[in-house]
Amino acid sequence: MRILFTLMLAAVQFCGGPSAKDKEIQGKAKMVFGKLPDKMPGSEKDTPALIELGKKLYFEKRLSSNDTQSCNSCHNVEGKGAGVDNQPTSTGAFGKNGDRNSPTVLNAGFHAAQFWDGRAATLADQAKGPILNPIEMAMPNEKAVIEKLSKIEEYKGLFEKAFPEDKDKLTYNNLASAIAAFERTLITSDRFDEWMAGNWKAMNSEEVNGLALFIQTGCTGCHNGPAFGGNSFRKLGEVKPYETKDLGRFNVTKSEADKYIFKVPSLRNIALTAPYFHDGSIKTLDEAVKTMAFHQLGKELNDSEVKSITAFLNTLSDKKRL
């Protein structure tokens, strides 16, 4: 009987069965992160026609003043694009660069607010900004955008299908709503999700150890919830000062308490979205992990710890984009 039990235990281990440690770590992860929902808030009213229009508008370069820039220019989702342009800061319609790194649009609808400073409450609010920003897409005003689109025959029919009950169908608000509907489809799936669902082979031992270290080190104080962030605002340099001229959320609220406060970025797909931080100043994920541990937690991680945490963070990459 004892021999039979030993053989059964060996078979379970050979098949990738979980250890007690794996189960313990998974239990902690479920409490801290939960499960990434299958749908984004607000998507229950999105129709195929609305999403189709939003997708076309997302890739529409004629939304820029000189027909060179689209939403996808800075937030590339084509092919294996991870919703960013992988530049420190993005180049706009007339060759000038913005002053902040373009965050990924993947899973963005799960965030509490949009932009690094949270100045847009929703995806639709966010979509309105870059089109009129003089450095980005540089259209002069909303009226000019609608006049330009109204001259494109195809859009008349697409707006009619997407907004059948609206008297005025081709409006700036509807444009933004359509883009937001498309962006709500950009939900990713990764190996961490598989591991959390019980596929114990989805992560190797170093990645699991990295997850445990991520939790133990205190990274989850900011990077928590299904998106591993995006749900709170924190001071950059909370424990050890971080030098930056960007005043962050203060520029929106004008409150002294909001100086150097930024939205905590989501870590989903973080291995695909370099460079890092609001200014794109950190080139590698290893460096980002080490820098954050020091400035936010006051901890100096050794190379082995950084390697393990980085290995875990790689499991958060969308499988379709690898």
Residues involved in catalysis: 136
What is the distance between the alpha carbons of residues 1 and 61, in angstroms, rounded to a whole number? 71
101 touches 88 (CB < 8 A):
yes
Closest CA to 59 of 48, 74, 45, 46: 74
Per DSSP, the residues of 161-217 read HH-TT-SS-S-HHHHHHHHHHHHTT-----HHHHHHTT-GGGS-HHHHHHHHHHHHH
- Token pair for residue 79? 């092919």
Give per-residue burial for 142-162: e unless 16+ CB within 10 Å, then b.
beebbebbeeeeebeebbeeb
The amino acid at residue 72 is N
The amino acid at residue 306 is V
DSSP designation for 272: G
62 touches 155 (CB < 8 A):
no
Residue 293 CB neighbour total at 10 angstroms: 21
Instruction: Find the radius of gyration of the CA atoms of the chain.
Output: 22
